[in-house]
């Protein structure tokens, strides 16, 4: 789910730039650590911190916003 959420975030350049700016992630970190828990947790935290994106991402991924939040909590442990 986190990888799908990342793909959704990156599908819009302005949103992708905001992700990089707010999380401190870089394109290199994303490429080299794509499946690392901290990176995936950061992507989901980015969505969790901006409700409009959270709702849009959940709709695009055909999940509930609560499911994305739960995934973030799981990855953050």
22-34 pLDDT, tens digit per residue, is 999 999 999 999 9
Nearest by Cα to 54 from 29, 38, 72: 72
Q: What is the pLDDT of residue 26?
A: 96
Q: What is the pLDDT of residue 12?
A: 97
Q: What is the pLDDT of residue 44?
A: 98
Does this model's pTM top 0.85? My answer is yes
7-60 pLDDT, tens digit per residue, is 999 999 999 999 999 999 999 999 999 999 999 999 999 999 999 999 999 999
Concatenated DSSP letters for 61-77?
HTS-HHHHHHHHHHHH-
Write down the domain spans for the chain. Answer: 2-76
Q: What is the pLDDT of residue 63?
A: 98
């Amino acid at each position: 789910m986190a990888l799908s959420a990342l793909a959704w975030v990156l599908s819009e350049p302005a949103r992708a730039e905001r992700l990089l700016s707010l999380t401190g992630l870089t394109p290199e970190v994303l490429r080299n650590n794509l499946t690392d828990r901290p990176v995936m947790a950061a992507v989901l935290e980015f969505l969790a911190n901006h409700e409009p994106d959270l709702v849009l991402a959940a709709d695009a991924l055909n999940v509930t916003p609560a499911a994305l939040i739960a995934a973030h909590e799981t990855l953050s442990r």
